[in-house]
Amino acid sequence: MKIDLLRQKIDKIDAKLVELIGKRFYISEQIGVIKKREGVKVFDKKREGDVMKSVEGLAKKVGIGEKVIEKIYKIILVESRKRQG
């Protein structure tokens, strides 16, 4: 398989990843509206711990290192909190 073809496949995957991250952030904003209305704090340590545990398990199944997925999700969770606040 040619490098160009593989790069095209990566480009399509990147587009899907960005779209999904955007959707995730949009939902986080909706959660923020509900939290504000109900007087709930933005940061939920238990929920974030559960998310990290879940994605680490998923990552392990597909051969992604724990540290790699941890770095990625720390960024996602911080941005999600910002959008909720």
Domain positions in the chain are: 3-84
Architecture of domain 3-84: Up-down Bundle (1.20)
Rounded mean pLDDT, 60-64 = 98
Q: Give the Cβ contact number of residue 17 at 10 Å.
A: 10
The mean predicted confidence, pLDDT, of the chain is: 97
Average pLDDT (14-28) is: 99
Helix (H, G, I), strand (E, B) or coil at 65: coil
Is residue 2 pLDDT above 80, yes or no?
yes
What's the confidence (pLDDT) of residue 3?
97
Exposed (0-12), middle (13-18) or buried (19+): which is 72, by Cβ within 10 Å?
middle
Residue 51 reports pLDDT greater than 90: yes
Quick one: pLDDT at residue 1?
72
pLDDT at residue 21, rounded to an integer: 99
The half-sphere exposure of 79 on its side-chain side, counting CA atoms within 13 A, is 13
